Chains A and B, each alone.
Chain A
């Protein structure tokens, strides 16, 4: 092995990557999103998807849902670093495999095709709660809600059925049962 010429140590072995969903409750104020996103980019963390919207108008709170991958150590750091930000109220962290949490993404799909073709489309994605939002004689816009990978698969499958445009949200999450995260 050639002698290291760096005054920094070489990277050490990494543990396995995990996918986590991190939910952050923040004050809905100017630049709060860039503080959160800047923390991720500045420290080299990864964002797979991001969903953010105000959830409490009275208390001016927004809820940010971030899907990220990293080693368990990195995930722990992400949570602790997020908690240090001044506008952050609380942070929840779930493994993607967690059975007690529901994750959903929404997609709007635009198809070109006649009525029969659209019926075929609806049939193909019937598992994912398809809703027709707009329909003309030549086209339709259909909304589905599903997991990320399911939507990935659907968009591949539906190409042959006239899919011409896809718009997707990031994942949002909610725990099952009566309990809420505090």
Chain B
């Protein structure tokens, strides 16, 4: 008779076969059998968080910085409901997560038992798929299927709900056959004809632009290499969404910066005026398009995406190429090289006028701000952080708000998987736990969470996790005592009625850091900023850096609500130059 294994053992056998090294979780009654089994599997390290939401975001940070799926283990009821925000976040930003939740024993399901909730019902709209394991015989198949669904096609979160009696029940375990071909839903659906059509459009275009997104990062590091080759080969300008930052070098001359609501003037105007728009792995999010009716009105549009339902969802496109970004770019470059040997030269001549126009837009220097020698400007703080960390392989996470946009605008990324931010869902409190996950996946690397003082308080408890596991993450708080983005919208849209956006009774972050057992640093004026940032980097412990910045600073440029790309609101410098001459200059 073959050996029988308990459900808990099977869970770990599957995790081992899926090459999982880290799980983020929090124990509780309904997962105790799985926690009991943990000690027998030394290759799998468990990171104990302080709140299940933290486990979810940490797993997201782990997944996004390593390219491997993040694994979460939580208990039933509150354990499962606490992880819902992180699952939704991962669903919106296409992050592969496998969440294992405990459930009350099968005979108690539906009886309102202690710590029971309809976990699969609650998580159905925020996962790619979920399973309630009702029979121990299904457990192994479901576990492997969960990993397959999470990581193939457009990645995303999945959840496996395992009742406690199933964790105790016993059955056989069959090892996976190595060469077993995995049937993949959403595989490549393009052919050479699509690629030829794309190249024909590229040849005809005189004002082309690449608009790239998180799909390039999700497709793997190879996609970023291929993208760089394609952009160099064509000579076309390129802009990126928030999630795509890093897939193309941020300091390259062909890169126009981020586009969208807080994107650069040149990127948004180029999107508006172009005659060929090539979307690679982005999804025409509403923060990108602005007013749909006036979005890039004169362009032919190409959309390359692995998810067919992304195509024509918001913007009707002329050519859709459904496939993995890596494969599509590879075919495109190959065909380009075969057809047009002198493409680089001929193209650059053809689009030189386009580049002249772009250079004109660039002279606006839309990311500029009026610096001060008395008070730290938040943009200045991010710029200094960039300058002092750019020579090492640095990973940046963020919370959500103004600081997130300033980080995206002023920190230049050169590699994919170095930038982890909550874009789709916009989850305040994402950055700290995400940084923990990033640090777990990348020990010895510098991991900085660019944070706001309001966001950080939402998941502050996870600093305790960082200390427990000696994860030297750096929390760089741009502290303006306001929910800055809320305040900015209230200023611009609600007649400066700053309703509930000021944080009174903030903690002393330096003392707070000390209370947790890490290091607190405070910077209050521009003169001490560099020195203190360097001190932060040099400390091999978690650091909370409380950077006091200008409270009134707004994040510009900005596309106001309901406006197209070419009607941007620029910063105070530009507004003053346009409105008030002389007097405005005196203020600079």
Min distance, Cβ B472 to any Cβ of chain A, angstroms: 37
Could you tell me if A73 and B293 are in contact, using CB atoms closer than 8 angstroms?
no
Residues of chain B contacted by A129 (CB below 8 angstroms): none
Confirm or deny: A99 has a beta carbon within 8 angstroms of a beta carbon on chain B: no
Q: Report which of B120, B132, B134, B561 forms a contact with A6, defined as CB distance below 8 A.
A: B561
Interface residues in A17-73 by Cβ distance below 8 A to B read: 30-31, 34-35, 38, 42, 73
Residue of chain A at shortest CB distance from B126: A42
Check B313–A77 contact: CB distance below 8 A: yes
Point out the residues of chain B lying under 8 angstroms from A77, CB to CB: 309, 312-313
Known: A5-B493, A30-B132, A86-B149. A76 touches B286 (CB 8 A): no
- The interface size of chain B toward A, counting residues with CB under 8 Å, comes to 29
Label chain A's interface by main secondary structure: loop
Question: Are the C-beta atoms of A9 and B291 separated by less than 8 Å?
Answer: yes
Is A9 touching B313 in the complex (CB atoms < 8 A)? no
Q: Is B487 an interface residue (CB 8 A)?
A: no
**B290 adjacent to A9 (CB under 8 Å):** yes
Taking a contact as CB atoms under 8 Å apart, the answer to whether A9 and B494 are in contact is no
A81 within 8 A of B: yes
The number of A-B residue pairs with CB atoms under 8 Å apart is 61
- Closest CB in chain B relative to A13 CB, distance in Å: 7
| Interface residues contributed by chain A, number (CB under 8 Å) | 24
CA distance A76 to B125 in the complex (A): 20
Given contacts A9-B562, A73-B312, contact A86 B292 (CB under 8 A): no
Q: Which chain A residues (67-95) contact chain B, with CB distance < 8 Å?
A: 73, 76-77, 80-81, 83-86
B124 A35 Cβ-Cβ under 8 A: yes
The one of B134, B185, B312, B489 that contacts A7, using a Cβ cutoff of 8 Å: B489
For A77, give the chain B residue with the smallest CB separation. Answer: B313
Instruction: List chain A residues, Cβ under 8 A from B494.
Output: 5
Set of chain A residues within 8 Å of B307, measured between Cβ atoms: 84
Chain A interface residues (CB < 8 Å from chain B):
4-10, 12-13, 30-31, 34-35, 38, 42, 73, 76-77, 80-81, 83-86
Contact A9 B309 (CB under 8 A): no
User: CA–CA, A84 to B125, complex, Å?
Assistant: 13
**Are A12 and B313 in contact (CB-based, < 8 A)?**
no
Bound CA–CA A42/B121 (angstroms): 13
The 8 lowest CB-CB distance pairs between A and B, nearest first, are A80-B309, A86-B129, A4-B562, A9-B562, A5-B493, A42-B125, A12-B292, A4-B561
CB of B186 within 8 A of chain A? yes
A41 nearest in chain B by CB position: B125
Whether the pair A31, B561 counts as a contact (CB closer than 8 A) is: no
In the complex, B301 has a CB within 8 A of chain A? no
